[in-house]
Structure formats: C-alpha cells, structure tokens
C-alpha cells in the first residue's frame, strides 16, 4: 500500500482526518478561552512604540494590541486566537473591547497618539459604531490622535464597504493604516479608492532582511508603491540593527519591533509602582 493510500485509509468515512479533528478541537478550545476572558473581563491592551525612523527617533505613536488572560493568568497575544475567531461574533466583541479601551486611553492622555487594529467585519457591528461615535462626541480631539489599522486581507474581504466606511469618517480626522502591506491580498487598483494614510510593511519580509536580497527587492518595491500614493511607511517586526539601518536607507518613515520596545501593559503614561520590574 502506498503512503497516499495509507493516509486515505486513516480518514473516516465522513471525510475528516485526525488532523482535521485536532484543528477543530484546538479552535473550540480557543473559542472557549476568548469567551471566558470576555465574560470575566480578563482583557487588556499592550502598547508598543512606533518610532520615527530618523534622529532623534522620537515615538510617533503607540500601537494598542489586544491581549486576553487564560485561567492561569497567562497573557495570550492576539495572533494566537484571532485567526480562529475572525469570522465569529467573538471577534466583533474583541474589536469593541480594543476600541473602547484604546479610546479611554486617548481621552485620559492627551499627549499620546494610538493605533488600534480592527476588522472590516466590525463596520456593520452597531455596538462598535456606537462606541466610536460616543467617544468622538465626548472629545473630538480623540479622532485626531486615533489611527485604525486594517489588514490587507480584511480590507479586500469587502473592499467597497471598506471604501464607504473610510469615506464616512473623513470629517472626523481619524487616520487609517493598511496593515500587512505586501501580503498579497491587495488588488493594487484599490489604492486609488481607499483612504489609507499609512502602510505597515508585511512583517514576514523583515526577518534577517539585511541578508536576504530577494526580500530587500520586495521591500523596496513596496516602499516605491507607498511613496507613489504619498503614504507614511511603517516597518514592523524589526529586531536587528542592521535591518533597521537598511530600512531607513530604503526610505521608511517609522520603525516598530522588539529592537525599539516590546509590547507592554505598563506604558510610560501609566505610573509604575516603585521597585516594580516587569517580566519579559
């Protein structure tokens, strides 16, 4: 019996392999984890600085990254659970929590600017829209300091809705950033229609960039496209000095990554207790 035949023999009559069952079981566990965290209020934002690429490399703004806690108190980052919940109601709830937590931080700290991730699927979610509208009415300056990050994949899921949504907020002074730029989901002709003020280069190209000529070519091409549309260019996931130097020389405007600061639930504007030393 060939290897292929053996694999087929292991698949039950229903057509689901042991791998399918394992993936399904894992996703169900993730759904339960997120649901329990939301119900018990075990959610928070971690804040990562985004620096100007050129001296004096001051902080341009912070990105607010959603986190949930599991039953043991362990902090779980969004990349662990968002793919499993993206198409569910839980993702809409997570977007609402991200938005309200970020807007409260902006209202309480007039000196900061903040970017928050959202899915285009949340545009039609009435609670999310009510949260945004209420906070903008309470403090119009919040909109001037808010950037909404939408991934390529999310934007292209419903491009026409994305355009209408961005257009409806043009008079609220909110900025928009296209996340994961270069992931391959974007149809470039839509850049003429979208209202993105900034792009964040796909982080997969940043790993040991200085030693990868192919990725360097891709990054330079993406930068050229962004410059053509007069957008701010952000390089994320930067971890090495030599990669940062190459990106600056290539023309990026801002840098983000562990080289410049890891996400933290205790950003500079939150007073820290004396002798507190936060773990990695």
250-269 confidence digits (pLDDT tens): 999 999 999 999 999 999 99
Q: What span, in angstroms and rounded, lies between the C-alpha atoms of 182 and 201? A: 6
Locus of tokens 């392999």: 17
- The helix or strand, by DSSP H or E, that contains position 102, with its residue range, turns out to be helix 89-108
Q: Where are the domains of the chain?
A: 42-255
- Encoded tokens for 26: 């894992």
Please say if the pLDDT value at position 15 is more than 60.
Answer: no
42-255: CATH topology is: TIM Barrel (3.20.20)
For the stretch 191-197, contacts whose Cβ atoms lie closer than 8 Å and that sit 24 or more positions apart, written own/partner, are 191/225, 191/229, 193/159, 193/163, 194/155, 194/159, 194/162, 194/163, 194/166, 195/163, 195/166, 195/167, 195/170, 196/166, 196/229, 196/231, 197/147, 197/231, 197/232
- Provide the Cα torsion 163, 166, 167, 170; round to 10°: -160
Helix (H, G, I), strand (E, B) or coil at 110: coil
Q: For the chain, what is the mean pLDDT?
A: 89
CB atoms within 10 A of CB 277: 5
Q: Computed from CA positions of residues 81, 86, 88, 91, in that sequence, does the dihedral angle turn out positive or negative?
A: positive
Spatial distance between the Cα atoms of 143 and 169, rounded to a whole number of angstroms: 9
Is the pLDDT reported for residue 121 higher than 50? yes
How confident is the model over 194-212, as pLDDT tens digits? Answer: 999 999 999 999 999 999 9
Residue 183 has pLDDT above 90, yes or no: yes
State what percent of residues in the chain have pLDDT above 90.
80
Mean pLDDT, rounded, for 8-31: 58
Q: Dig out the tokens for 82 from the structure.
A: 């968002």
For 205, other C-beta atoms within 10 Å of its C-beta total: 22
Rg (CA), the chain: 21
**What pLDDT does 185 receive?**
83
pTM higher than 0.75 for the full model? yes
């Amino acid at each position: 019996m060939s290897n292929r035949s053996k694999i087929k023999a292991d698949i039950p009559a229903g057509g689901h392999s042991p791998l399918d069952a394992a993936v399904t079981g894992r996703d169900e566990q993730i759904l339960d984890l997120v649901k329990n965290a939301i119900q018990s209020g075990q959610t928070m934002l971690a804040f990562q600085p985004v620096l100007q690429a050129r001296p004096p490399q001051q902080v341009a703004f912070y990105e607010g990254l959603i986190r949930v806690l599991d039953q043991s108190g362990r902090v779980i980052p969004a990349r662990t659970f968002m793919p499993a919940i993206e198409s569910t109601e839980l993702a809409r709830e997570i977007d609402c929590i991200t938005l309200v937590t970020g807007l409260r931080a902006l209202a309480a700290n007039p000196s900061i600017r903040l970017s928050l991730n959202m899915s285009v699927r949340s545009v039609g979610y009435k609670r999310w829209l009510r949260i945004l509208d209420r906070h903008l009415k309470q403090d119009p300056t919040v909109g001037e300091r808010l950037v909404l990050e939408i991934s390529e994949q999310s934007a292209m899921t419903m491009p026409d809705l994305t355009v209408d949504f961005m257009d409806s907020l043009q008079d609220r002074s909110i900025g928009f950033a296209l996340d994961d730029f270069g992931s391959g989901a974007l149809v470039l002709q839509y850049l003429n229609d979208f209202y993105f003020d900034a792009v964040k280069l796909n982080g997969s190209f940043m790993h040991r960039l200085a030693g990868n000529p192919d990725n360097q070519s891709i990054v330079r091409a993406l930068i050229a496209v962004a410059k053509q549309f007069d957008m701010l260019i952000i390089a994320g996931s930067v971890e090495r000095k030599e990669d940062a130097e190459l990106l600056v020389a290539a023309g990026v405007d801002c840098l983000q990554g562990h080289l410049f600061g890891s996400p933290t639930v205790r950003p500079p504007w939150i007073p820290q207790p004396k002798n507190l030393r936060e773990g990695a």
